Amino acid sequence: MIVELVSTGTELLLGQIVNTNAPFLAAQLNELGFSVLYQTTVGDNRERMKNVLRTALARADIVITSGGLGPTQGDITKEVTASLLNKSMYFHEPSAERIQRYFAERRICMSDNNLRQAMMPEGAKIIDNTCGTAPGVIVEDQTSGKIIINLPGPPHELSAMFETSIMPYLKNQFGIQGAIVSRVLRTYGLGESALEEKIKKYILSQSNPTLALLARNGEIHVRITARAASEIDALQLITELEGQIRPLINEYIFGIDDETLEKSVSKLLLEKELTIALAESCTGGLVTSRITDVPGSSRYLIGSVICYSNEVKVAHVGVSAEIIASNGAVSQETAESMAKGIKEKYCTSIGIGITGIAGPDGATADKPVGLVYIAIEGPAGRVCYQHYFNGNRTDVKHRTALAALNHLRHYLRTI
């Protein structure tokens, strides 16, 4: 069964709110085996909404809308749905009573326009809203066999209604449509085009499973998606394809699905029973923050110093003033001294020193914005990496943090 999601609301088109309903619905529907092939967003305009719904019905079996079920004159989704399917609107007394009771129980004065939410398309199945006042509706078009489902816009209302009412309806009406399962291989250290070249053979020959590359905040994700009669069968298809492409890109893969770089580092530190301390300059503690995002990080993270000024580098990390004077605060020598100093200060297995120019100022002719040094000192010896990162100040900090975690991951794998 093909499904199209239609998100309504001019506020979505203006960028005033982020649409979280569409990803939620898509994930839920894919788990049930329904094919969500289209997603559309339309503002609160009758003609444009009607055209969008007409197009959706022409190419999908089920159209699910979100938003536009409220009490104001701009909430027109049910009316447009009824008009498109040549159905009249009527006043649904049970819904009106439920809306009135909702306000009475909360001792809130109800405006008369709230009763607009009790106007329903003729012949629609009414779906109670357990978290708000706007009922949902399911309208089945007997002529075409197509279905339009109107859900409320507030995410907590929509998710509750979908899980308690729409999901059982779809299962009862159509049964489980098989399984659509995805696995994401998260990579770092290779650009999207270069990564594609390594697995291009499998991308060009894909059928089921499918392969897609997704750029995500400095990482490249390889998504493998399979459709099968059951989740077990889909996972088997995914595992077979993963086994073919992994040898080609394995050194760049740091995690699967929701496994972040910091989670990967955490597992290695715990496995090898190592401790770590950091001296961060241009990242301002961002690497430490990411490490502490992982529960239980106190078992290996001993301490961190944000040594933004040269004085702090000298007084609190142990960097020699002569090294800074001779080579500059942003240099391999300073980064290595920071890594060694912080390791000794906190008596850890590993020390990391990070220094760079995040910009927009502070650059010189031979040290541009984006120049970063990341040094690691530990059981496998001392290493230092030089990078030139593009982007604004926030970009440079983010990319430096990713690079530092990835270098640490590779370092730990050598121990």
Residue whose entry in the numeric block shows the structure tokens 């529960």 = 295
Q: In the chain, which stretches have pLDDT less than 50?
A: none
- Distance from the Cα of residue 404 to its chain's centroid: 22
pLDDT tens-digit profile of 354-399?
999 999 999 998 999 999 999 999 999 999 999 999 999 999 999 9
Answer yes or no: are the C-beta atoms of 94 and 111 closer than 8 Å: no
**Domain residue spans of the chain:** 2-174, 179-256, 261-413
Strand 219-228 vs strand 210-216: parallel, antiparallel, or unpaired? antiparallel
2-174 CATH pick, 3.40.50.261, 3.90.76.10, 3.40.980.10, 1.10.10.60: 3.40.980.10
Q: What integer pLDDT is reported at residue 177 of this predicted model? A: 86
Beta bridge partners of 182: 225
- Tell me the C-alpha to C-alpha distance, in Å, between residue 223 and each of 211, 213, 254: 6, 6, 14
Question: What single-letter amino acid sits at 187?
Answer: T
Q: What tokens appear for 366 in the block?
A: 């031979």
CATH of domain 179-256: 3.30.70.2860
186 contacts 219 by C-beta, under 8 angstroms: yes
Q: Would you tell me how many other CB atoms lie within 10 Å of the CB of residue 122? A: 12
In the sheet with 179-187, reading across from the earlier edge strand, the strands are: 210-216, 219-228, 179-187, 253-256
- The CATH number for 261-413, chosen from 3.20.20.140, 3.40.1080.10, 3.90.950.20, 1.10.287.610, is 3.90.950.20
Q: How far apart are CA 54 and CA 52, in angstroms?
A: 5
Confirm whether pTM is higher than 0.95: no
